[in-house]
Amino acid sequence: MEDGARAVRPALVVNDPDLSGSQPVSDLAASSANVLAHAVEGAVTTLASPVPSMAAREAQRLVDVAWIMEDEDPGFVAREQLALAALLSGYAIGAAWYGLSHVLSQTLVRVGGTGHGPANAAMLPVAISALERRTPGRVDPDGTLRALAEKLARRAGANGIRRLGVPEDRLDACADAAAGRPELDLTPPRADRDELRALYGEAW
């Protein structure tokens, strides 16, 4: 964003389910990881509230069911369910804002030069575990969400930052940039530079 520019949020969003779910399967997996990241983080920020959190939990369920169906019938994905999950998780993250997971992925896009969906797919497994450590029992007490995120990363070809073409020597710059983001305060305790670097290293 240019210095002095003002962020403007839309008053109306038109969501076409057929269009939202029309990507090739590998791209759809990356987008599903982005949806799941919205749903996971939107339910646990300091701005989270009951109704958006319920929407986030339903989005998590829909993503899981859609990709279980793909496991059972390779090549088939419940695209309408994923489109609904995207809408619900977008509502949740719009209401609750974001923190650690999105700071990690957005910085990887900006500093590492990756795409938005693949960055979310690469970072979400480690981010889920980091968020669970912050709020034990609220994010992923049995490891099922991390397993889902890892499956999406594999299907997206993003199981590892290195697979996205980011060299290991860029991870320090990513950690430096991420450490200055104010959104980290929304998923306390605030991640410091050392933790951010460790998470990038784990995901590399």
Does any domain span residue 1?
no
Higher-confidence position of 72 and 143: 143
The total domain count for the chain is: 1
CATH number at 66 reads 1.20.1090.10
Does any domain span residue 10?
no
pLDDT cut 90: percent of the chain above it: 82
Interatomic CA distance for residues 35 and 64, integer angstroms: 11
Q: Give the DSSP letter of residue 156.
A: H
pLDDT in tens, 28-76: 999 999 999 999 999 999 999 999 999 999 999 999 999 998 878 877 7
Does any domain span residue 105?
yes
Does any domain span residue 26?
yes
The pLDDT value given to residue 73: 81
**Residue 19's pLDDT band (cuts 50, 70, 90):** confident
Does any domain span residue 121?
yes
Interatomic CA distance for residues 60 and 76, integer angstroms: 19
The pLDDT value given to residue 1: 47
Does any domain span residue 3?
no
Task: Flag whether pLDDT at 2 surpasses 80.
Answer: no
pLDDT in tens, 82-106: 999 999 999 999 999 999 999 999 9
Which positions ≥6 away from 156 have C-beta within 8 Å?
26, 27, 29, 30, 33, 117, 118, 121
Does any domain span residue 177?
yes
Does any domain span residue 107?
yes
Structure tokens, 148? 């889902």
The pLDDT value given to residue 10: 76
What is the residue range of 127's domain?
17-203
Task: Flag whether pLDDT at 180 surpasses 80.
Answer: yes
User: How much is the average pLDDT of 115-124?
Assistant: 97
Higher-confidence position of 142 and 15: 142
